[in-house]
Amino acid sequence: MKKKLFEFNKTFFKETMRYYMVTAIVFGVLIILASISIGIQLYGNMAASMNFNIPVQNIEWIICAFMAYLGANLARKLLNKGTAELYGSMPVSRSSMWMAQLLAGICYSLMMIAIFVITMFIIRIGAAAEIGVNVGNYGYSAGEFILDICRIILEALIVFSISGISFSITGRSMTAVVTALLIVTLPGCIYGTLNMQSVANIDSLSILIPAGAGVRNALEWIVQIVLALALPILFRQAFLAIRTERAGFAYRDGTMQTIFGVIFAFDIFVSCFNTNTAIIILIGNNGTNIVGVIITAAILTFIGYFAFMWIAGRKFKAAANSLMYLPVSAALACAVLLAGSAVSKAYDRIDFSAGNMAYYTIPDYIGKRLGSDYMNNSFYFGGYNFGNDAYGKGVTNEDEIKFSDPKQLSQLAKVIERYRADNNSMFNYVINLLGSIGIDKKPSLYLTLKDGRTYGIDLSWEYLGEFSYMEAARANEEYCNAMYDLKRFEGGHFVLEDSRMNMFYDTFIDELSSLSLDQRAEIFDLSSIYMDLEMSFMDDEAIIDTESVIYENGPTLTPFARVIFIANRDNSCIRGIILNEHTPKTLKACLELSGPVNEKNGSIQYLVDTLKNGNSDGINTEFMIWDTETGRSYEYSFEYDQHGYDYVINDEYYRKMLGELLMEFFNKDINTMTADEISDGCIAMEALGWDYLYDDDYVDEGMTQEELDAVYDEIIAQGLEYARGGAEEMHFYAGLRDWMMGITSGAKSMEGSRYVLIINKCRVWSADEDGYSSWIGSIELDTASNFNHYPIVFGLSDEEFGRFYDAFYSNTEYPIYYTDTRSRN
Amino acid sequence: MIEINELTKRFGDLAAVDDLSCTIKPGGVFGLVGVNGSGKSTLLRLISGVYHPDSGSIRLYGEEVYDNAEAKKHLVYIPDNIQLVTPNASMNRMAEFYAACYSTFSKDKFRKYTKLFGLNPNAKLRSFSKGMCKQAQTVLGLACNTDIIMFDETYDGLDPLAKKAAAKAIYSEVCDRSACVIMTSHSLRELEDTCDSLALMFKGKLIMQSDIANLKTRMFKVQLALEGDMDRDSFESIPGVELLSFNKSGKVMTLILRGDRGVADSYIRSLDPMLYELLPLSLEEVFSFEMDALGYKFDEIR
């Protein structure tokens, strides 16, 4: 009797919904917990709370787990002896059961997504209410949200089907799980094997689909849709074919068991070639010994296959007999390996010389790459922790802009050449014994050759010094115009605690429109000067003279203020922008608002109290001083650690802690040493590091006492010098602290002041003789990660500024702690 | 109504049902008897659509049963071991499940039979004893109001009172709406008083199928005493009547005969017996001789 594809039994569907209600509630609770977990991070942190899409991807795994359970459970109903007769005899067709399960899964999945959205919304409202942000400021994009949901549902259908197919094919749970894993990993295993031998770090999908990002994205969607449509139907067929009487058997029949055994063996065999892990463990080489690799692979494959067939079939003799099929696995593996070799050879023959390159394009908003790849690695910058989703969302066609400058292409060719020389395998960082399923790594850029083929190139940061495509992008007028197209900012608004900033929208747009592209890049936090600074911390070879960058009149490390700007009405274009002297009016507006805000939230008093804390031993602060007349700005970041110096000169402490070390190093009894000697000795050791004690350059076995004394004298001399410098520095910074305390206590408004002090961060801590114990006050006003804080702003008198300038700016002894930004003559 | 034609079902090398053909008519109680492993449960599972036949066909009102919702709505299968929709299911929960699957499910009947058996419909079924589970299953099956109700080991685990109640309920269904009840047992005695027809299975095959009334009509047991001395030979030549068993104790003879009862009666009365009475014949005795006639040793089958 021919069966309809779609059979729907309404009452059985209701029964199925009821059946899974408890399960759905359990998963719903997980969703709520996930929402709360995400939401907890949002409170007090406006930037994070302005996550500009509803992060449904965070619950993707929960939805998929639920659907996997449903898929498995449907098959189990007919294969479990406790339910098989019940469901098998019911006047409900299997097709109806399948449809009911599928629809119930989708319904509950959508409900869970709804729960997540509602919970996140409630939490965000709470977070926003705390910081006074209007709901209307949220940067949700309906289009992206719907696409995310569609994607999750498609994935859920795929997972549902794979799980169901696996459990339909087998009659035992353990075997079903293994079967599911095999189905899931097989494509990745084959794919990885085909590509692993290529040495160029070219995006792997490009091998199959040498097309640009747009085509690839479309193809990814098509593949996902096709799988989501086809796999459930395959599941249906497998479900219809279940034979209840096979419950308890590993597979429906011996043929199927053999097939999966062969697949399992294939997976193991090629995985040994895909990863070095197993090889290193077993034979301790780097996998270049092909004979060793083959032997290892063969041994592991034999063991794995035999164990699988024995466990699945529960018969030793049958498992032994099944070994005759093992050569099939080996043959398949060899075929794929040989094919991979051919593919890779063909691939590596592709001409990536500069002369054969037509152009490259950058697929993602450049800032996103910046934020995710580099900023978070920079301790000194604190990171623009918007998160990939929030930062720099929405661009206009910049991925269609072609970069064809011969110099850039030449640099890119050199990078690719260097990849090849370094023998970077694409899957160097993918260690997955059963094949790679994570092949959706997005490339940094797309390179199109003259014959039209396009390849994704992933540039890791260690090659950044040789080819900074972002720098090139920023220098490209067309690209920058596309990114900073003012038309996209029509109807936009600021997202800040005080919505009065929106009154200055026009002011900001006017100021922005008058800026050069370089200046706009700074405003949008993409200045190359930052890039250079980052690189200096990332790659020692990239910037040779770090001192000249950091120590002498370098660029501003900390902007005056950061704000989030939603550029258009549909919230699809969002930028994190900085306000500096290029946008003086907008900056002034922002700073003027800061006073009332900080008064209201108690930040100013908190700062004053923190600085005044008599128990403090250390202070770390960052501030800017803005000369509103000349536009000049001074950035200051310093750390003063009194405890550290007390630590050095506290001989009681050293007597207690370091007696043994002193004895060992100087061969002198601490009790015979004077306090000065001990102190000096400690200073010396502290200055030179404990390792000095064991430094063979200075101390040799068999040295005479006189020779040791000479070394000791030398160390002391250096240590004293250090201590002297330290004492002076202590005095220096104590003065700075006093200066700050005076200003903050006075709390002069910036109105009417030429000089404006803008404090972004201030931390104070205390310590005891054993070390630093705790922060006793910390105020982070850096809006990089927390947009609900305005910097604390004070007006400076001319005298106060003068003290600062005389004491610090012109004091070249301590250049590491300040920089001068953009001198304007 | 149920037509089974050359049905075979194998599990590996074992033929649980081996080329079996039979017809089960509507109405009445059909008993399926056989020793453990004879294929009774397998046959029921095949009829109910739980198993897929390896060969042959099972038709219910002319339609194949397997994965056919339309056909299966005419029957309900009550397995030997209770099957629960969820591990913590109560009778009420199971009733809801059955009601969702069977449009003919009667909640009134469910309540009525639940009361009859004295069961708590809200209690978890896993807390029930074996007998209580069986009662619960019976209630659920009967409440489905299907044309065919199949019981596997109907009275297994039931106490005498519960057996009586179950039998009464089953009869009620048969009488009120001409339902067809198929029940299996390994005990002839158990089915004797309940079934209208019986089939005997052995090693996957259907050895014999017959109406019980017909069986008992064809075969009868008499006890007589004669003044004269007569032996077995005197009764073996009764025309149209076969002597199956002859037992003499003194002057009292006990005979089991198969054939025309009237002819046998006339013949015996012609001998002017001092004692002549018809004794009840147990089904076991009937089957024993019938099997013997077919060449099976009944003791092997029992």
Task: Quick: pLDDT tens for A576-610.
Answer: 677 777 888 888 888 888 777 777 778 788 878 77
Q: What is the pLDDT of residue B157?
A: 84
Average pLDDT over residues A615-635: 72
Instruction: Lowest mean pLDDT of A259-263, A739-743, A804-808, name the range.
Output: A804-808
d(CA A326, CA A49): 56
Buried b (16+ CB within 10 A) or exposed e, B114-128: bebbebebeeebeeb
Average pLDDT over residues A387-398: 46
Q: What is the pLDDT of residue A543?
A: 37
Residue of A nearest to B11 (CA): A245
DSSP A128: H
Residue positions counted in chain B:
302
What mean pLDDT, rounded, does chain A reach?
70
Average pLDDT over residues A432-461: 62
Q: How far, in whole angstroms, is CA B145 from its chain's centroid?
A: 20
pLDDT tops 60 at residue A719: no
Per CB-CB distance under 8 Å, the chain B contacts of A249 are none
Within the 35-64 window of chain B, which residues sit less than 8 Å (CB to CB) from chain A?
Answer: 45, 48-52, 63-64
For A577: left if phi > 0, alpha if psi spans -120 to 50, otherwise beta; the answer is beta
Name the residue among B51, B72, B85 with its Cβ closest to that of A245: B51
Report the DSSP pairing between strands B75-78 and B148-151. parallel
What the block records as the tokens of A382 is 């604190």
- Cβ distance B83 to A18 less than 8 Å, yes or no, reads no
pTM for the model? 0.73
Q: What is the pLDDT of residue A605?
A: 82
Q: What is the pLDDT of residue A154?
A: 92
B67/A contact by beta carbon, under 8 A: yes
In chain A, % of residues over pLDDT 70: 54
Q: What is the pLDDT of residue A614?
A: 57
Instruction: Lowest mean pLDDT of A1-15, A454-468, A512-526, name the range.
Output: A454-468
B101/A contact by beta carbon, under 8 A: yes
Residue of A nearest to B47 (CA): A89
Name the residue among A86, A243, A245 with its Cβ closest to that of B85: A86
Q: What is the pLDDT of residue A530?
A: 44
Per CB-CB distance under 8 Å, the chain B contacts of A84 are 50, 83
Average pLDDT over residues A379-391: 33
Beta-sheet strands, E only, within A408-506: 445-449, 454-457, 493-495
Report the DSSP pairing between strands B205-211 and B180-185. unpaired
Per CB-CB distance under 8 Å, the chain A contacts of B85 are 19, 83, 86
Per CB-CB distance under 8 Å, the chain B contacts of A9 are 69
Distance from CA of A185 to the nearest CA of B (A): 33
Q: What is the pLDDT of residue A436?
A: 33
Chain A positions contacting chain B at CB under 8 Å are: 1, 3, 9, 11-12, 14-15, 18-19, 82-86, 88-94, 96, 240, 243-245
What the block records as the tokens of B253 is 């003879």
- Cβ distance A86 to B84 less than 8 Å, yes or no, reads yes
Query: The sheet that has A561-566: what strands, in order across it?
Result: A493-495, A561-566, A574-579
pLDDT tops 80 at residue A30: yes
Could you tell me which residue, A395 or B273, shows the higher pLDDT? B273
Q: Which of A117-126, A677-686, A765-774 has the highest mean pLDDT?
A: A117-126
Q: What is the pLDDT of residue A660?
A: 58
B133 three-class SS: helix
Please state the domain extents for chain A.
1-169, 187-215+242-362+401-464, 584-644+727-821, 645-716
The CA–CA distances, whole Å, from B175 to A409, B26, B27, B29, B169 equal 93, 12, 8, 10, 10
Fold designation for B216-301:
Alpha-Beta Plaits (3.30.70)
pLDDT tops 80 at residue A613: no
Average pLDDT over residues A774-781: 56
Q: What is the pLDDT of residue A392?
A: 47
Pseudo-torsion of CA B149, B153, B158, B164, nearest 10°? 50
What the block records as the tokens of A685 is 């050791």
Q: What is the pLDDT of residue A495?
A: 67
- Percent composition of chain A: helix, strand, coil (DSSP 3-state, to 5): 60, 10, 30
Instruction: Lowest mean pLDDT of A161-175, A334-348, A406-420, name the range.
Output: A334-348
Q: Which CATH superfamily is domain B2-203 in?
A: P-loop containing nucleotide triphosphate hydrolases (3.40.50.300)
Instruction: Lowest mean pLDDT of A385-394, A675-684, B96-105, B153-162, name the range.
Output: A385-394
Report the DSSP pairing between strands A561-566 and A574-579. antiparallel
B23/A contact by beta carbon, under 8 A: no
B70/A contact by beta carbon, under 8 A: yes
DSSP B256: E
For B259: left if phi > 0, alpha if psi spans -120 to 50, otherwise beta; the answer is left
Residues of chain B with pLDDT under 50: none
Could you tell me which residue, A717 or A771, shows the higher pLDDT? A717
Report the DSSP pairing between strands B55-60 and B63-64. antiparallel
What the block records as the tokens of B193 is 């008083």
Q: What is the pLDDT of residue A91?
A: 95
Could you tell me which residue, B23 or A349, shows the higher pLDDT? B23
For chain B, how long is the longest CA-to-CA vector?
73
Per CB-CB distance under 8 Å, the chain B contacts of A80 are none
Name the residue among B11, B49, B84 with its Cβ closest to that of A88: B49
Average pLDDT over residues A816-823: 40
Phi, psi (5° rounding) for residue A355?
A: -70, -20
The residue among B83, B102, B145, B151 with the most chain A CBs within 10 A of its CB, best to mutate, is: B83
**Torsion sign, CA atoms A686, A692, A697, A699:** positive
Distance from CA of B86 to the nearest CA of A (A): 8
For A716: left if phi > 0, alpha if psi spans -120 to 50, otherwise beta; the answer is alpha
What the block records as the tokens of B149 is 């109700």
pLDDT tops 50 at residue A476: yes
Residue of B nearest to A23 (CA): B86
- Cβ distance A82 to B84 less than 8 Å, yes or no, reads yes
Q: What is the pLDDT of residue A390?
A: 38
What the block records as the tokens of A550 is 């950091």
pLDDT tops 90 at residue A350: no
Distance from CA of A75 to the nearest CA of B (A): 14
Name the residue among A3, A11, A243 with its Cβ closest to that of B100: A11
Average pLDDT over residues A234-239: 94
Could you tell me which residue, A165 or A364, shows the higher pLDDT? A165
Residue with tokens 């406790």: A82
The residue among B10, B54, B101, B103 with the most chain A CBs within 10 A of its CB, best to mutate, is: B101
Q: Which of A228-232, A420-424, A453-457, A620-624 has the highest mean pLDDT?
A: A228-232
Q: What is the pLDDT of residue A427?
A: 31
Q: How many CA atoms lie within 13 A of A567 on its CB side?
A: 23
- The per-residue pLDDT for range A595-604, each reduced to its tens digit, is 777 777 787 8
The answer to whether A432 and A189 are in contact (CB under 8 A) is no
Please state the domain extents for chain B.
2-203, 216-301
Q: What is the pLDDT of residue A547?
A: 36
In chain A, % of residues over pLDDT 90: 16
Residue of A nearest to B54 (CA): A243
The residue among A245, A249, A314 with the most chain B CBs within 10 A of its CB, best to mutate, is: A245
B123/A contact by beta carbon, under 8 A: no
CB-neighbour burial class of residue B277 (10 A; exposed 0-12, middle 13-18, buried 19+): exposed
pLDDT tops 90 at residue A143: no
Q: What is the pLDDT of residue A529?
A: 43
pLDDT tops 70 at residue A92: yes
The strand pairing partners of B248, in sequence order, are: B253
Inter-chain contacts counted by CB atoms under 8 A, chains A and B = 76
- Cβ distance A86 to B83 less than 8 Å, yes or no, reads yes
Could you tell me which residue, A198 or A403, shows the higher pLDDT? A403
Per CB-CB distance under 8 Å, the chain B contacts of A89 are 45, 48-50, 72, 75-77, 79
